[in-house]
Amino acid sequence: MLLVPLVTACSIGPVRRPPPDRTAPSPDPATTAPASSPTASDVEIRHVRVAVGRQYDPPYVEFVTAERGYAQFSGCSSGQRCPALLYSTTDGGRTWRRLRHPHPVSENPQLYVAPGALTISVGSRDWYTSTDGGLTFAHAIGERGRAAWQAAQGRFQLDEVTGRAVRWQGRRMTPLPAQPPVPGLHGLVETRGLLVAAGVDGGRPYAAVSPDGGRSWQRTAVPALDGEVGTLRPVAGPDGEARLIGWPPDRTSFPTLWRYLGRWLPVPADGHPARALSVVPLTTGRFAVSGPDGVGVVADGRYDRLDWPLGPEHHLTLLDDGTVLGRASDEVLLASGPVGSRHWVRVVLEPA
């Protein structure tokens, strides 16, 4: 199939529900200013039309890395039911290839991606998972389908039902030999051979580390700062450094940040705005933060505005290869490279 690149932009990405296991704070429409993205002359636009009927709504687009991504057309503005269509890219959105959709006639199919896995869920029972880039799909029903998706999220996770720390082997999970000595466990992440668990109790942050895959744990003091912590999320920076992101109970005020250098060190952010909507770790202890005031970086104890082509409506996530993804309701932007010289790409996919 021939796909023709264009040089103009259009909207992309309908609203969808988040994956069932995602715990990161999501943008709150009530606090997000409806401003447009700043224009930037150095943003590369990859605009491609595909052979899809014009009655289709814009697709939902997900990326796993800066190069590999997927797009699903599943709704029609005319109100009629249209079969879902699935596409993939392996060159960062320059070209798109049509894939066989595993369940094209369904009500609101959802597309999720993870390193090495592509999953489409239909309703609450049918799950279709591919581990070969969408060439083939395995179908499973109910919890068996969810298990296939969960297994792709990483070796160590929290069991959604019991809240216990578990390890996934194949499509089965087993509790860790020892549970983290962390009250109110919120998250678990593996980085540099270290397993990090974090939680909150009574508004105070707690964390523990395991050097042996959860067979033993060492509780690590997290210096408490001003204000309560409502949610504490351990994350790995693109350089492998362990971090903590502590969101206040309202989940919109500016978060508290820590980095792990043998012990947890607070990361000051003097001059930061009152509110934030998303945070991603960068290299050398830095963080990028988006919010109603735009995007900024926390570095060297300060918060400074970034001249990134993102607006207050963009929600930041960090892809597996260290690429920063900025998502708004109508577009996806990708950025790779060092903080000061990132290469920005706006990906636009629309019906021909």
Per-residue CA distances from 296 to 8, 272, 303 (Å)? 28, 8, 6
Instruction: Output 264 or 25, whichever has higher pLDDT.
Output: 264
24: amino acid identity, one letter: A
The pLDDT tens digits for 36-87 are 334 445 899 999 999 999 889 889 999 999 999 999 999 887 677 889 999 9
Q: Which residue has the tokens 């996919």?
A: 349
Do residues 265 and 259 make contact, with C-beta atoms less than 8 angstroms apart? yes
- Among 319, 263, 324, smallest CA distance to 295 is for 324
Tell me what pLDDT residue 184 has.
95
The pLDDT tens digits for 207-264 are 999 999 999 999 999 998 888 999 999 999 999 999 999 999 999 999 999 999 999 9
Task: Quickly state the pLDDT bin for 89 (edges 50, 70, 90).
Answer: very high
| Burial class of 306 by CB neighbour count within 10 A (0 to 12, 13 to 18, 19+) | middle
User: What is the mean predicted confidence (pLDDT) over 116-137?
Assistant: 92
Predicted TM-score (pTM) of the model is 0.83
The pLDDT tens digits for 269-314 are 999 999 999 999 999 999 999 999 899 999 999 999 998 999 888 9
Do residues 20 and 160 make contact, with C-beta atoms less than 8 angstroms apart? yes
The Cα–Cα gap between 47 and 334 comes to: 13
State CA 272 to chain mean position distance.
Answer: 23
- Among 25, 21, 6, smallest CA distance to 163 is for 21
Name 300's Cβ contacts closer than 8 Å, sequence gap at least 6: none
Decide if pLDDT at 15 tops 50: no
